[in-house]
A and B are shown apart, each in its own frame.
Chain A
Amino acid sequence: DTGVSQDPRHKITKRGQNVTFRCDPISEHNRLYWYRQTLGQGPEFLTYFQNEAQLEKSRLLSDRFSAERPKGSFSTLEIQRTEQGDSAMYLCASSVTGELFFGEGSRLTVL
């Protein structure tokens, strides 16, 4: 399967710990997006990369959040000093133009 891959699928952590999620987009997709989905809500845009450049960040992306895409391929999303409000599904999507292809998401539970 050559779809968007996310790892880990589920992460349980204690408040105050740091967590990192990885996204491997469909190969040759130069655009990569991160979204966050909380229970009962639709996905909310966090940030966007075109190749290795981070071109847009939502105001939802606080200073504790950082995303990188160092070589224009895979991306990481790190959350520092996690809070219970960070519990959510973190979705990654990639595209060439137009249609976004989503991964299955990484679920974060902060205790």
Chain B
Amino acid sequence: GDSVTQMEGPVTLSEEAFLTINCTYTATGYPSLFWYVQYPGEGLQLLLKATKADDKGSNKGFEATYRKETTSFHLEKGSVQVSDSAVYFCALTSAPRAGYSTLTFGKGTMLLVSP
């Protein structure tokens, strides 16, 4: 079945440092890939997505490229801020069934950014 593996956290960085959170996946067919973010006390929010190989998703300075050859979708940001402190989830959805898809999530990676 489908699965997502993320690097374990917490990831602790100083403000303005470079961020990478690794994500690899196993899926049938051609999945769509997502990064969700959960800020303290809030619900999950979609951060970015990519729907086919070599697509790059980007939002709020974060980027991730869909790499089919390495089955990866690593999240990067060039300069993190304290406000980026949150839990980040990598997720995928396989080929839709009857027009809908369910998400398979990784375990999440906590990011802590200090001033």
Contact = CB atoms under 8 A, between A and B. Distances in A.
Contacts of B46: 99-100
Given A4-B43, A42-B89, A91-B44, A31 B107 contact: no
B45 A102 contact: yes
B91 interface: yes
B104 interface: yes
A33 B41 CA distance: 20
Interface in B56-115: 89, 91, 97-100, 102-108
Given A102-B43, A102-B44, A104-B43, A43 B105 contact: yes
Interface band, chain A: 20 to 34
Given A99-B46, A102-B44, A103-B43, A55 B107 contact: no
Contacts of A40: 107-108
A21 interface: no
A13 interface: no
Interface in A37-51: 40-45, 48, 50
Closest 9 CB pairs of A and B: A42-B105, A102-B44, A102-B43, A104-B43, A45-B102, A43-B105, A42-B107, A42-B106, A99-B46
Interface of A: 3-4, 31, 33, 35, 40-45, 48, 50, 55-56, 91, 93, 97, 99-100, 102-105
21 contacts: A3-B43, A4-B43, A31-B100, A41-B107, A42-B4, A42-B105, A42-B107, A42-B108, A43-B103, A44-B105, A45-B102, A45-B103, A45-B104, A50-B100, A55-B98, A55-B100, A56-B97, A100-B46, A103-B43, A104-B41, A104-B42
